[in-house]
Structure 1
Amino acid sequence: MSEESVSVSVVLPAYNEAATIRTTVETTLATLSAFLSDDEFEVIVAEDGCEDRTPEIADEMAAEDDRVRHFHADERLGRGGALERAFRASHGDTLVYFDTDLATDMRHLEELVESVRTEGYDVVTGSRWMAGNVADRPAKRGVPSRVYNGLARLFLRSDLRDHQCGFKAFDRAALFALLDDVQDRHWFWDTEVLVKAQRRGFRVKEFAVDWEPKGDTKVDLVRDVFGMGSQILRTWWELSVSPRVNRRVGIVAGTLLTFVAVFLMVFHYLEPDKVWSNLQAADLTLVGVAAAIYVVSWPLRGLRYRDILEEIGFESRVGFLTGAIFISQTGNLVFPARLGDGVRAYVMKARRDVPYSSGFASLAVERVFDLLTITVLAGSVMIALVVSGDASQVASALAGETVGPRYESAARYASYVAAFVGTAAVVAVVAIVASARSDRNLVRPVVDRLSDDSYAMEVVAVVEGFVGDVQTVAGSRRSFAIVGGSSLLVWTLDVVTGIVVMLAVGIQLPVATLVAIGFFAVSVGNLAKVLPLSPGGVGLYEGAFTALVVGLAPGITVELALTAAIVDHAVKNVVTVVGGLGSMLALNVSLTEAVEESTEAREGGEAVPTES
């Protein structure tokens, strides 16, 4: 068969299909022969790192029939990777693929092919969700499929009903014009091609097909939930957000949002009639001293982060790391759910080539030590207060009984959150240290029970890297002591900042009492605001701080304690924002640039096909 005579290339992606591949190829050849001459088509078995006899059977068929070709891969490429590799090595101008289980009725094959060949469509896809089809969709398959396609239509502005039906055809020139922009190499490949074809203005046809599931579903929990869901978000960002965002827009938007956030934090709980006069009477010199003390804690954060990174094998300057922390903490004031933590991982990947798994692992280590240190500080003071005979007073303060009905629920809620976070921190440290001293790998066995897909194994590798980095730091007594000591210094300065603010707004207490209450109130307040239940912890911090100061120092009014909480929180947030904006300018990074630069370059170029 001459390569020049081939006009249609059909690719069959195959993974462990030994039981069915021969029947599939024979059915495909017979169906194509019904409307094409034998020299007009070829059938390519794109075998994707199979572990059964699929390669041997495919070799036998290729030797028996010159219309059949076989491409072997020693390792899994993913469905999209295997398809793209075979398409690039094909000879036809009309490129077709369908799933080897032949779930789609083969009587539709002629319409699929001719829609491209003679009707001039660039992309054609079968659909199990259009009116007029017959498709047996049990809930196990149907519900996830409807949800997925709904999300694709919503976020990616697609007009199609079914993006993942394994029954598609392409004009060669159109497909090759799209492939360089298609990043996924797994199951999302289909959706990405269809969405980008629509965005590029290619003629796309969707038609109803009769479909019947064959065998067990290959829907995979890890791959489909984490992989395809994240790919929808990645493509949405690429197509809808990134084109509208540049460095200048990012800096301006980030600046406005951070100042709005700080403004709301300062004034959300403000009662002008009762609190404003306290704010006006505050000693600005002491407020400035408090800010200066808090500023000193930031290079210590950079030093601590350097020690954490060095322990897992990465080096960087303290100045850069301090700036990266400033940017990420500013992001936490702007974005919900502590998304600023992710910004730091992106910055470290983009600017210092720290893998995402290690970037998030270093953040996890930092957070665990933060929470453990704050818990130790709060717990130590609480024990001292209880031992001194103030147990009932501490209980009343934590329950919010001393601040009146207006703030009681907020104070109680903040105390519950602080107790939960503190307990979780202790449990996390115990678990990490214990696991660091064990050689058992608990990640892979758990994921193996959920999935055996190649994408899942990639997830496993990332998680194992994350866990290994965390254990490296936690398992070393030296690093544990160094990071723990620097964490103690960081949070002691944070508490001292709060104590100086208490003095600045006029809270007069004996030194020992002021220090004890300051350590307890600031530490519990910091624990309360850890969970991303409000932007920047607004309300939770103030509720816990106010309740404890009033409860443990009966002579202090609610309004005065609330003033101290507001000023303390505001001073720290203003320092964070100013440092964040300065770091963005100094490092030439914006909050949005971190996301822009997060897309990893495709690795290694195109694979070279090996034909059997």
Structure 2
Amino acid sequence: MQGQTLEPTSEPAPARPRRLRPGRLAAILLGVAIGAAVIAISHPDKIWASLQQADLTLVVAALALNLPVIWLRALRAQLMVRQLGYRVPMRSMAPIQLVGQTSSTITPAASGDYVRAYLWRSSNGVPVRVGAAVVTFERLYSLFLMIALSLLLILFPRHGVIGWILVALGLGVATFAPLLFELMPTSLEQWVLAKLGKRRIMGRFQEGATVMIDQVRKLMKAPLLLAWTSGLTLVNFIAMGAQLWLVMLSLAHRVPITQAVAANSTSQVAGIISTLPFGIGSQDAILVTVFAGYGVTVSLAASAAVLMRATTTIPLALAGLAAYLMVDKPAVRPAMEVE
């Protein structure tokens, strides 16, 4: 029509056939290699020998407990991210949690868990500094609770009712300990950040570190979040202890659930701070040592440690590798990256 200009219509480009990109192929090959390495270092011959003498029904029950363990960890991280003003749906959080858990077990001091911060950003737009703050607080707080629970269960339940009262009081103090820590002066962290800023190479990280510390402090001074996080973490520890309890039961040896939780938590601490992948060696040795203190024979405790690898380490590692392929990736790059 007269007086009108025709604007060119933009038709959507035809969909490209999905091809296996080199990056995805490399990730798959790396995943297969890591999975094979996990199975190899977990001594499959010893696992098979232990399975021959175990009640497989109870072993399968221990294996099934991995599902609530994964869900509890994902829910805990989800609450922390939400506390800082961002939302990650469970359909994204669960696979990302598995990926982070697998990467943390193959790196010293569980440092690989920080991959979750980048995956939260790519899938749900959570800033890396916020994600790093969540991972930092979650790792330190859960490790602190694990150490506290291990010591309390080893020292006090033998004293009866008074011992259990002390356990409850100790867990209460441990739950809200971050509130006291947050009240401490910030002079030390300010000194560290100032030193960091003076270095030419590290200076650009100073602002990010400052923001991350501020986010960590927000988590530390939220009492309701601390209560929820501690509750979920302790239930998670009990579930993992129940896995060990079922494994021991499958080997025709019954131990109190408190001993199973204490032994598992103590061995987990050794595995976290170990420099070896999956805490191989140190985690198993601590488990055997703690059980020896409870009167369990070394051979029986060693068989339990091997079966725990079969019911937790291997399936969770393989699930984490599979979950990496399920994690949402950005369909297109942001405009600022394209420009």
TM-score bracket, shorter-length normalisation: 0.7 to 0.9
TM-score (norm 1): 0.45
- Return the index of the structure with the highest Cα Rg: 1
Q: CA deviation at 1:429?
A: 8.1
For residues 2-81 of structure 1, what are the structure 2 equivalents within 5 Å?
none
Which residue does the alignment assign to 2:316?
576
Unaligned runs of 5+ in 2: 1-20, 161-172
Which residue does the alignment assign to 2:90?
318
Which residue does the alignment assign to 1:231?
none
Kindly indicate whether residue 222 of structure 2 is the aligned counterpart of residue 476 of structure 1. Answer: yes
Give distance in 2, aligned partners of 1:252 and 1:282: 34
Q: CA deviation at 1:474?
A: 1.2
Question: Contact 1:278/1:560 (CA < 8 Å) preserved in 2?
Answer: no
Kindly indicate whether residue 193 of structure 2 is the aligned counterpart of residue 447 of structure 1. Answer: yes
Q: Deviations over 1:346-388 (max 9, x none)?
A: 2122222222221111111211232122223212211225647
Aligned to 2:262, which of 520, 524, 545?
520
Structure 1 residues 380 and 352: alpha-carbon distance in aligned structure 2, compared to 1, 3 A threshold: same
Amino acid at match of 2:275: L
Give distance in 1, aligned partners of 2:123 and 2:273: 29
Question: Contact 1:258/1:330 (CA < 8 Å) preserved in 2?
Answer: no
For residues 127-146 of structure 1, what are the structure 2 equivalents within 5 Å?
none
Q: Secondary structure at the match of 2:325?
A: helix
Aligned to 2:125, which of 353, 369, 388?
353
Question: Contact 1:302/1:319 (CA < 8 Å) preserved in 2?
Answer: no
Question: Contact 1:528/1:544 (CA < 8 Å) preserved in 2?
Answer: yes
Question: Contact 2:179/2:223 (CA < 8 Å) preserved in 1?
Answer: no
Aligned to 2:65, which of 276, 293, 296?
293
Kindly indicate whether residue 140 of structure 2 is the aligned counterpart of residue 368 of structure 1. Answer: yes
Structure 1 residues 369 and 551: alpha-carbon distance in aligned structure 2, compared to 1, 3 A threshold: same
* Aligned residue-pair number: 306
Question: Contact 2:108/2:277 (CA < 8 Å) preserved in 1?
Answer: yes
Question: Contact 2:175/2:230 (CA < 8 Å) preserved in 1?
Answer: no
Give distance in 2, aligned partners of 1:581 and 1:453: 38
Structure 1 residues 299 and 276: alpha-carbon distance in aligned structure 2, compared to 1, 3 A threshold: closer
Which residue does the alignment assign to 2:303?
563
Q: Deviations over 1:214-269 (max 9, x none)?
A: xxxxxxxxxxxxxxxxxxxxxxxxxxxxxx951122112212212322331244xx
Kindly indicate whether residue 120 of structure 2 is the aligned counterpart of residue 380 of structure 1. Answer: no
Which residue does the alignment assign to 1:485?
231
Unaligned runs of 5+ in 1: 1-243, 389-425, 606-612
Give distance in 1, aligned partners of 2:271 and 2:298: 20
Give distance in 2, aligned partners of 1:369 and 1:459: 24
Aligned to 1:251, which of 21, 28, 46?
28
TM-score (norm 2): 0.79
Q: CA deviation at 1:277?
A: 4.5
Q: Secondary structure at the match of 2:122?
A: helix
Which residue does the alignment assign to 1:235?
none
Kindly indicate whether residue 251 of structure 2 is the aligned counterpart of residue 505 of structure 1. Answer: yes
Give distance in 2, aligned partners of 1:520 and 1:329: 21
Question: Contact 2:193/2:209 (CA < 8 Å) preserved in 1?
Answer: no
Q: CA deviation at 1:312?
A: 1.3
Amino acid at match of 2:29: V
Structure 1 residues 472 and 266: alpha-carbon distance in aligned structure 2, compared to 1, 3 A threshold: farther
Which has the bigger relative contact order, CA under 8 A and spacing at least 6?
2
Q: CA deviation at 1:322?
A: 1.1
Which residue does the alignment assign to 1:466?
212
% identical equivalent positions: 22
Aligned to 1:343, which of 112, 115, 119?
115
Amino acid at match of 2:264: V
Q: Deviations over 1:22-56 (max 9, x none)?
A: xxxxxxxxxxxxxxxxxxxxxxxxxxxxxxxxxxx
Kindly indicate whether residue 288 of structure 2 is the aligned counterpart of residue 546 of structure 1. Answer: yes
Amino acid at match of 1:384: F
Which residue does the alignment assign to 1:264?
41
Give distance in 2, aligned partners of 1:603 and 1:581: 28
Q: Deviations over 1:583-608 (max 9, x none)?
A: 2232266xxx9xxx9x9997797xxx
Structure 1 residues 558 and 334: alpha-carbon distance in aligned structure 2, compared to 1, 3 A threshold: same
Q: CA deviation at 1:445?
A: 4.3
Give distance in 1, aligned partners of 2:220 and 2:153: 26
More strand, by proportion: 1
Amino acid at match of 1:346: Y
CA RMSD in angstroms, aligned pairs only: 3.2
Give distance in 1, aligned partners of 2:223 and 2:81: 16
Amino acid at match of 2:311: V
Amino acid at match of 1:261: V
Structure 1 residues 450 and 521: alpha-carbon distance in aligned structure 2, compared to 1, 3 A threshold: closer
Give distance in 1, aligned partners of 2:302 and 2:98: 26
Question: Contact 1:301/1:490 (CA < 8 Å) preserved in 2?
Answer: yes
For residues 367-446 of structure 1, what are the structure 2 equivalents within 5 Å?
367-384=139-156, 387=159, 430=177, 432-437=178-183, 440=186, 442-446=188-192
Q: CA deviation at 1:436?
A: 2.8
Which residue does the alignment assign to 1:197?
none
Which residue does the alignment assign to 1:173?
none
Amino acid at match of 1:469: Q
Question: Contact 1:279/1:563 (CA < 8 Å) preserved in 2?
Answer: no
Q: Deviations over 1:120-140 (max 9, x none)?
A: xxxxxxxxxxxxxxxxxxxxx
Q: Secondary structure at the match of 1:529?
A: helix
Q: CA deviation at 1:303?
A: 0.9
Amino acid at match of 1:494: M
Give distance in 2, aligned partners of 1:263 and 1:570: 12
Q: Secondary structure at the match of 1:314?
A: coil
Structure 1 residues 315 and 572: alpha-carbon distance in aligned structure 2, compared to 1, 3 A threshold: same
Q: CA deviation at 1:534?
A: 1.0
Aligned to 2:277, which of 504, 516, 535?
535
Q: CA deviation at 1:293?
A: 1.4
Which residue does the alignment assign to 1:586?
326
Q: CA deviation at 1:441?
A: 6.3
Question: Contact 1:374/1:523 (CA < 8 Å) preserved in 2?
Answer: yes
Question: Contact 2:107/2:275 (CA < 8 Å) preserved in 1?
Answer: no
Q: CA deviation at 1:288?
A: 0.5
Give distance in 2, aligned partners of 1:343 and 1:565: 28
Which residue does the alignment assign to 2:56?
284
Give distance in 1, aligned partners of 2:221 and 2:240: 27
Q: CA deviation at 1:463?
A: 1.1
Which residue does the alignment assign to 1:328?
100
Question: Contact 1:368/1:428 (CA < 8 Å) preserved in 2?
Answer: no
